[in-house]
Amino acid sequence: MTGQIDAAFEGALGDFRLDTAFTAAMTGVTALFGPSGSGKTTVLRCIAGLTRMQGRLSVNGRDWQSAEAFTPAHQRPVGYVFQDANLFPQLTVTGNLNFAAKRSGKRSNGDNPAIDFDETIDLLGLAPLMQRMPAALSGGERQRVAVGRALLSRPQVLLMDEPLSGLDQAAKADILPYLERLTDTLAIPVLYVSHDIGEVARLADHMVLLNSGRAIASGTIGDMLERLDLGPLVEPFEESVLATAEITGHDPKYRLTRLICCGQPLTIPEADLAIGETVRLRIRARDVALATKRPEGISIRNILEGHIAEISAAPGAAHAETLVDINGARLRARITLEALAELELTVGAPVFALVKSVTFDGRSIAQKQSG
């Protein structure tokens, strides 16, 4: 079908078996998410044509792989960002970028996006690096060059294989805004492999969840994060939902930023965002507490009124996962089974969701709207 990636792969690599089928939209960022060893990277390599398995693949209505045909990697209009950047060590940054730019016309069918060289340099902040050799770049810089190089090949789809996983926290924080800007600015669809739910929640619009070589669920990032049944596949304590909020003001005295979220006020530590801007907030289940009455004399600033929409408890666990409906938006809260029983919480019960302001940091605020 036009406008989507339609993939099905089957095969074995050593002990690992892949047997997966999914479709992904040719818009925005689609995360291929799952625990290590779930086959994310293998799927990405199959899409790029770097690994060959049985199956079929069509992108935007064109067959790249079928029972009869296999388009070799160099004829597929993809950009691939490797986990370790994989720059050409003998070429400068300019040389690496030119390698891509020179060949960008070769595999176009006239429908590849136009990518401006200078604009890409600008978007990724590469200007000061141009004459350097890859060995003289930091991990984050190398990854930015790799993204630029992939873009300059004018791909119809950008494939990113855990581009941040080799980087330390500081380097990640440095590169994430570039990726955000890029995915917002460019009309190129991105398939983004990651096992870091924080990264995915911040960047992705859609999510395909993989486990043990199978695609087990897919949907918009917001819906996927709200699904309680998928919990065990996300790192424990990292389960979260996304909420869209609008900046309403800043409080310089207490260094706070105030927002409206689900029609109710929310306060977070001061963030460098313009009033009126809409942002995506990631709220983790472990940071949300529940109360049956509006609490008073409490340090928690954010008290959102709603009702319980869903409750689930994994067998043998000491806690329950609850989904709280707040004017149509949903928050997850993780509470102990004891609290669940004492507060007599059932589906439909009115509750107040409490969220500590300080649990929001730069990593949990994205300058894009929830998909």
Q: Report the interface residues with another protein, using CB under 8 A.
A: 48-50, 72-80, 82, 84-90, 99-100, 103-104, 106-107, 133-135, 138-139, 142, 149-150, 153, 159, 166-167, 171
What's the closest the beta carbon of residue 188 comes to another protein, in angstroms? 14
What's the closest the beta carbon of residue 50 comes to another protein, in angstroms? 5
Q: Is 272 exposed, middle or buried (0-12, 13-18, 19+ CB in 10 A)?
A: exposed
* Nearer residue to another protein within complex by CB, 95 or 269: 95
* Nearer residue to another protein within complex by CB, 106 or 294: 106
Residue with tokens 């709200």: 226
Residue 101 has φ and ψ, to the nearest 5°, of -60, -40
* Nearer residue to another protein within complex by CB, 73 or 256: 73
What's the closest the beta carbon of residue 146 comes to another protein, in angstroms? 8
Give the residues across from 304 on adjacent strands: 353
* Nearer residue to another protein within complex by CB, 87 or 279: 87
* Nearer residue to another protein within complex by CB, 153 or 183: 153
- Cβ atoms 221, 371 nearer than 8 A: yes
Q: In what order do the strands lie in the sheet with 264-269?
A: 264-269, 256-261, 240-251, 278-284, 365-366
What's the closest the beta carbon of residue 87 comes to another protein, in angstroms? 6
* Nearer residue to another protein within complex by CB, 164 or 259: 164
What's the closest the beta carbon of residue 149 comes to another protein, in angstroms? 7
Q: Say which residues have a Cβ less than 8 Å from residue 276's Cβ, sequence separation at least 6.
A: 246, 247
User: Cα separation of 182 and 301, whole Å?
Assistant: 34
What's the closest the beta carbon of residue 143 comes to another protein, in angstroms? 9
Which residue spans within the chain are E strands per DSSP? 4-13, 16-25, 29-33, 54-59, 62-65, 78-81, 157-161, 190-194, 206-211, 214-220, 240-251, 256-261, 264-269, 278-284, 288-291, 302-312, 319-326, 329-336, 350-355, 365-366
* Nearer residue to another protein within complex by CB, 153 or 244: 153
User: Cα separation of 121 and 370, whole Å?
Assistant: 28
What's the closest the beta carbon of residue 112 comes to another protein, in angstroms? 10
